[in-house]
Amino acid sequence: MRTVSRSASIALDVSNSTSETEPAAAAGGERREAILVAAARVISRSGVRGLRVEEVASEAGVSPPLLYYHFASRQGLIRAALQRASDKAPSAALRSEAGEMSGYEAVEVALLAELDDDRSVRDNAIVWGEVGATAVFEPELRDDVRQVTETWSATVAEAIRRGVEDGSIRKGIDPEQAAEVLITLVDGLCNRWLAGAMNRERARELLVATLRETLRAKD
């Protein structure tokens, strides 16, 4: 809800503005974010292949030139949308919040949250899957896909390492390898869920079972 009203107020902003080429830093940041939220919605509705810059601008309530001011090109917009999906992914919380959870609990909570039905999580998951699927045909996107995947993997590996130290994750595990396998499984489950080939509850069940069997320290 917050995002919707924010994007509406930005639309007002822009219609009152006479110069769009040099927005003040704060408003510029908000507009950039509003455009990326709009891009995620458009991608979530009709995919990366169907994305038209004009539709994103209209959804964000900004003019196409303002969009190009921020992202230079359609591809720049798609790359920024992927980067934002990476920054906003539930697993990103693992980077900032140690909290009171054990390493194991933090990993389970973060990965399960990727299969949440919240709209922004779902939009993000579709952006992630779609940019990856598009990279098969557009090699220029591959470095970006590789980079966000490696960031995600490194984040989860670090949490696994912490779990091994605090005794919640079994010793002898290879944190990098376990992280790579788990995030690949999460991606696969997301794709099944979003494609309607598996219901979300079953996807969560399979993920929890896998985490408990392969990661959690035996009592």
For residue 170, give the nearest of 107, 216, 104, 219 by alpha carbon: 216
Q: Closer to a second copy at the Cβ: 11 or 217?
A: 217
Q: Closer to a second copy at the Cβ: 12 or 142?
A: 142
Site residues (vs a second copy, CB under 8 A): 45-47, 49-50, 126, 129-130, 132-137, 139, 141-142, 145-146, 149, 177, 180-181, 184-189, 191-192, 194-198, 202, 206, 209-210, 213-214
Q: What is the nearest approach in angstroms of a second copy to the Cβ of residue 204?
A: 13
Residues whose CB is less than 8 angstroms from the CB of residue 36 and which lie 6 or more positions away in sequence, other chains included: 80, 81, 84
Kindly write down the DSSP assignment for every residue of 24-50, as one continuous string.
-HHHHHHHHHHHHHHHHHHHHHHTTTT
Q: What is the nearest approach in angstroms of a second copy to the Cβ of residue 115?
A: 12
User: Residue 30, Cβ neighbours under 10 Å: how many?
Assistant: 17
Q: Closer to a second copy at the Cβ: 50 or 76?
A: 50
In terms of phi and psi (left: phi > 0; alpha: psi -120 to 50; beta: otherwise), the region of 199 is: beta
Q: Closer to a second copy at the Cβ: 54 or 143?
A: 143
Q: What is the nearest approach in angstroms of a second copy to the Cβ of residue 122?
A: 10
CB 57 within 8 A of CB 39: no
Angle between helices 119-135 and 74-88 (to 10 degrees): 130
Helix, strand, coil tally for the chain in percent (to 5): 75, 0, 25
Q: What is the nearest approach in angstroms of a second copy to the Cβ of residue 171?
A: 14
Q: Closer to a second copy at the Cβ: 63 or 214?
A: 214
CB 38 within 8 A of CB 56: yes
Q: What is the nearest approach in angstroms of a second copy to the Cβ of residue 191?
A: 6
Q: What is the nearest approach in angstroms of a second copy to the Cβ of residue 34?
A: 23
Q: Closer to a second copy at the Cβ: 71 or 193?
A: 193
